[in-house]
Amino acid sequence: MVYELFLWMSLAVPLLFNAIIKRSDGKAQRPPGPRPLPIIENLLDVRGGNLHHYLASLAHDHGPVMMLKLGLVTTVFISSRDAAWEAFTKHDRLLAARTVPDTRRALAHSERSMVWLPSYHPLWKTLRGVAACHIFSPRNLNVARSTRERKVYDMVDYIRRCAGREVDIGQILYHGMFDLLANVLFSENAHPNLSELMEDMVALLAKPNMSDLFPLLRPLDLQGFRHWTAMHMRRVFHILDNIVDCRLAQVTDDKCKDVLDSLLVLMSTSKLTRQDCEGMSAEKLDVTERYTSNSVLVMAAPLKVVPVVGT
């Protein structure tokens, strides 16, 4: 009985807060948009799989700048080049930070992540400088060229050895790209569980979360997504901890053979903490996972071929 009362009160507070906000700023000028429903607002307007089709249809009816209420979150959609140019040139500071999903607040990850920190944050500037000078600089990219070529050759060789058998191109590219990045970062193939952990976290990020739609319910974590993500993050950082420990135990020369070596040099000079090094490594794996799962894997998943070895 007490639990049910607490649950109803937790749902009633956001609704009451929403009603007060609507009444207080009801006269403010806002972009047009579809008429919202009580409680769920415009959530039904974006239901279904082809979200971009729904948004294009709504933009055709309401204009290139429209507003939707997704739960208690007011969202403005911009769908024209001119409107986007005006938004990012006149209001760039307001748009400098991304909306942080509740799952990325697990273990305070969003507070030290270059992806989720606003671009005016001092830590973001530090991490961006490290990434530009020690990860994506022409010199470092050139050092990792042989590693990238070797992993591409490995994928081609695997397809050649599968001659006469059906192979899943999407899975080959997916695991090949993840191993490629792991070799660039750590000079070794990805841990067997690492790809699966990152894949699960990315999949959860795409699921609707009550904590994102109704921020006042965030402390309750009603669906358990933040708790579940925190457990997976701990396992990821445990794997990265072991990789860093093994590298620190090795006696190496002063040459940086991969990204981890460059980060450890910065850590030895107190320019980065160990937490920063492991966080940046996890972030690169996370971004790669999202790219491959959202583009390469989706496009190539139905593609199956029977390899034929040329003479």
Sign of the alpha-carbon torsion through 26, 32, 37, 39: negative
The pTM of this model reads: 0.78
- Strand, helix or coil for residue 152: helix
Contacts of 220 (CB under 8 A, 6+ apart): 10, 211
Token pair for 117? 């920190």
Amino acid in the structure at residue 199: E
Tens place of pLDDT per residue across the chain (311 aa): 444 444 444 554 455 445 444 544 555 578 898 988 888 888 888 876 677 888 888 888 999 999 999 888 888 898 888 888 988 888 777 776 778 999 999 999 989 888 888 888 899 899 999 888 888 888 888 888 888 899 889 988 988 888 778 787 777 888 888 888 888 888 888 888 888 898 888 888 888 899 999 998 999 999 999 999 999 999 999 999 999 998 888 866 666 678 888 888 889 888 889 998 888 888 888 877 776 666 665 565 566 665 655 54
- Closest to 75 in 3D by CA, of 226, 215, 205, 203: 215
Residue 171: the pLDDT is 78
Residue 103: the pLDDT is 93
Token pair for 9? 């009160």
- Size (the chain), residues: 311
Residue 8: the pLDDT is 43
The ranges of the chain annotated as CATH 1.10.630.10 are 106-304
Half-sphere exposure of 104 (CA within 13 A, CB side): 22
- Residue 41 sits at φ, ψ, to 5 deg, of 55, -120
Out of 3.40.50.720, 3.30.1510.10, 1.10.630.10, 1.10.760.10, select the CATH number for domain 106-304.
1.10.630.10
